[in-house]
Every structure is written in structure tokens, then in C-alpha cells.
Amino acid sequence: MTIVASLLFLTALGLSVGAIFLTVRNAMPRIREVVAMEFAGKVARERRITCGEMRRRTPATIIAFPVAGRAIGEMRLAA
């Protein structure tokens, strides 16, 4: 019984190591892209949007969030 359990454990261990290896191998192009972007000398003015197999460059959008000014002397309560 211990031999069967050991074989099952080793099989599961081998399969999990294989799955981790394949996942990292498939993710390497994106990992390299992110590392190159992080250590690039200039700031990228555009971002990359990846949707499955379709890839295209689009300009980065800047969204300004207006901040409402506070009235001077306004009474505020802490929550």
C-alpha cells in the first residue's frame, strides 16, 4: 500500500512541476516585455492592450478627476 501511495505522490508531484514549468514557459514573452518596460530609459507614452491573440498599440488616456474645493471655515465632523 505504501508503494502505491508513494507512486501516486511522485506522479502528482511530477505533474505539478510540469504544469508550473509550462505556465512559466508560456508567460515568458509577457514577463520579458514587462521587465524591458520597467528598465527602459524613457517613459512609455502608450500602453499595450492584449486581448487574446489580438495585439495593438493605443495611446494612453489620461483621465483628470476634478477635486471639489473646501469652503473655508466649514464645519466638519469626524466619522
Question: How far apart are alpha carbons 29 and 57 in whole angstroms?
Answer: 17
Nearest Cα to 36, choosing from 24, 48, 18, 23? 48
Q: Does the pTM of the predicted model rise above 0.85?
A: no
**57 vs 8 pLDDT, higher one:** 8
**69 vs 5 pLDDT, higher one:** 5
Q: What pLDDT, on a 0 to 100 scale, did the predictor assign at position 10?
A: 96
Q: What is the DSSP letter of 54?
A: E
The 10 Å Cβ neighbour count of residue 61 is 6
What does the pLDDT look like over 2-48, one tens digit per residue?
999 999 999 999 999 999 999 999 989 888 888 887 887 776 666 66
Average pLDDT over residues 52-57: 55
